[in-house]
């Protein structure tokens, strides 16, 4: 009789699918491994939060773990997982060497979420007012840490084809340790499209995004200071509803009823507020990965106006769910067109539904991912031999990280 395979996920935070795209992504991965018959434990050093998902509802064991503490060694040895999934490179840095030492035969996966070094380098280029170029990444300290983490893992899950190409061309990472696995969504059928609110039933513009994420805060400032006043001049009755988890005082201060710029905080049901809106605005000026807010807009049948950064790696050769532009005047013009012209709006909506079904339908990825995991588990020694850079980094950083962690542990006693 086959033994049940065990997956250990080491989470940076507890999943909050209603607060961020990262939380939604994590729940999709849990569902993917559940379908493969894995029993799953989710461990995190993070504090519990009011909005975290109840993992027990999904038959996932919840474990609190500590940083720089050998109690983790006892826990992981006892669990003896077949596969370990690190949620972002910071968790691999903290716990990767302990997993390698205590469970050497476990397949080590990294879910990158987005390339942190790319997001930070673009943010820096934006703040310093120069165009981002790939070699900017070489001076980014986070890049050195993140690339080392990717090399040490057996496989890194990437949600963006652009980022995969960047890792291959700029950092010369071998494709054998990278795997394209975007957001995994349920396809949308004709009956569901019929149930969506029609053009006439919708009103207002909407922006939605977690405010702990710097690109979102920057986009809201850009809307407030530059874009929204121009839209408001052309559409005096228009309202922009700004939703997002964890708004700080500086975010709340932007609320202005007279200007039709409303800061509404956390959305109880994000899909509902996006479905009721006529147009999503997402003028993102830096960032990385795939934008959950724009996929959600497509799922809700709500056209969007965004930037090249916003739409990056999202739609392949398919036409966008609205308009893509980095020019302020064009952005305003596109927003007004979508808001007023039913024919343009309908065409944009159809484009979005096509993108979901042709690029993000989970059925496109489930079986090939299962085959990849099975292949790696059967050929792990050879796969690791082929990844010499990874073995070398594992050897050296295991030592340095290990002794630094041991020192912190002693200091904390």
pLDDT tens digits for range 52-97: 999 999 999 999 999 999 999 999 999 999 999 999 999 999 999 9
Q: Is the pLDDT of residue 190 over 90?
A: no
Q: Are residues 61 and 207 in the same domain?
A: no
Q: Are residues 350 and 374 in the same domain?
A: no
Q: Are residues 11 and 68 in the same domain?
A: yes
Q: Indicate whether 396 belongs to any domain.
A: yes
- Look at residues 337, 359, 381 and tell me which one is the last residue of a structural domain: 359
Q: Are residues 261 and 232 in the same domain?
A: yes
Overall domain count for the chain: 2
Q: Are residues 284 and 383 in the same domain?
A: no
12-64 tens-digit pLDDT: 999 999 888 999 999 999 999 999 999 999 999 999 999 999 999 999 999 99
Alpha carbon distance 95, 67 (integer Å) = 8
Q: Are residues 370 and 353 in the same domain?
A: no
Q: For position 398, what pLDDT does the model report?
A: 62
Q: Are residues 205 and 58 in the same domain?
A: no
Q: Are residues 384 and 353 in the same domain?
A: no
Q: Is the pLDDT of residue 397 over 70?
A: no
Residue 411 confidence class, pLDDT cut points 50, 70, 90: confident
Tokens of 218: 């920057």
Q: Are residues 215 and 307 in the same domain?
A: yes
Domain containing residue 116: 6-184+365-412
Q: Are residues 152 and 276 in the same domain?
A: no
138-178 tens-digit pLDDT: 999 999 999 999 999 999 999 999 999 999 999 999 999 99
- Per the prediction, the chain carries an average pLDDT of 95
Q: Indicate whether 1 belongs to any domain.
A: no
Residues 121/166, Cβ–Cβ less than 8 Å: no
Q: For position 1, what pLDDT does the model report?
A: 43
Q: Are residues 214 and 249 in the same domain?
A: yes
């Amino acid at each position: 009789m086959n033994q049940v395979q065990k997956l250990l996920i080491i989470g940076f935070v507890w999943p909050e699918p209603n607060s961020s795209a990262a939380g939604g992504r994590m729940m999709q991965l849990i569902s993917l491994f559940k379908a493969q018959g894995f029993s799953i434990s989710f461990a995190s050093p993070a504090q519990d939060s009011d909005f975290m998902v109840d993992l027990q509802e999904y038959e996932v064991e919840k474990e609190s773990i500590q940083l720089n503490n050998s109690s983790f060694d006892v826990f992981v040895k006892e669990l003896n997982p077949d596969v370990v999934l690190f949620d972002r490179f910071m968790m691999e840095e903290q716990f990767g060497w302990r997993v390698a030492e205590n469970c050497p035969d476990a397949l080590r996966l990294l879910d990158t979420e987005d390339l942190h070094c790319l997001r930070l380098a673009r943010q820096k280029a934006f703040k310093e007012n120069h165009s981002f170029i790939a070699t900017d990444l070489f001076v980014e300290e986070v890049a050195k840490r993140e690339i080392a983490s990717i090399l040490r893992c057996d496989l890194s899950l990437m949600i963006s084809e652009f980022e995969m190409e960047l890792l291959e061309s700029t950092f010369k990472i071998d494709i054998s340790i990278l795997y394209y696995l975007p957001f995994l969504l349920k396809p949308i059928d004709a009956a569901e499209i019929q149930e969506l609110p029609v053009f006439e039933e919708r009103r207002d513009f909407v922006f939605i995004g977690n405010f702990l994420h710097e690109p979102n805060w920057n986009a809201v400032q850009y809307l407030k200071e530059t874009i929204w006043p121009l839209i408001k001049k052309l559409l005096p009755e228009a309202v922009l509803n700004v939703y997002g988890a964890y708004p700080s005082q500086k975010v709340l201060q932007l609320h202005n009823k007279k200007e039709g710029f409303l800061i509404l905080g956390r959305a109880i049901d994000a899909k509902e507020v996006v479905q009721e809106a006529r147009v999503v605005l997402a003028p993102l000026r830096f960032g990385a990965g795939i934008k959950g807010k724009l996929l959600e807009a497509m799922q809700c049948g709500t056209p969007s106006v965004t930037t090249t950064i916003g739409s990056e790696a999202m739609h392949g050769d398919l036409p966008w769910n609205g308009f893509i532009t980095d020019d302020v005047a064009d952005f305003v013009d596109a927003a007004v067109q979508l808001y007023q012209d039913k024919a343009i709006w309908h065409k944009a909506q159809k484009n979005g539904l096509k993108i979901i079904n042709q690029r993000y339908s989970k059925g496109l990825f489930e079986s090939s991912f299962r085959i990849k995991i099975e292949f790696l588990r059967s050929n792990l020694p050879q796969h690791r031999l082929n990844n010499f850079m990874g073995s070398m980094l594992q050897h050296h950083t295991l030592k340095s990280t290990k002794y630094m962690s041991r020192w912190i542990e002693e200091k904390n006693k």
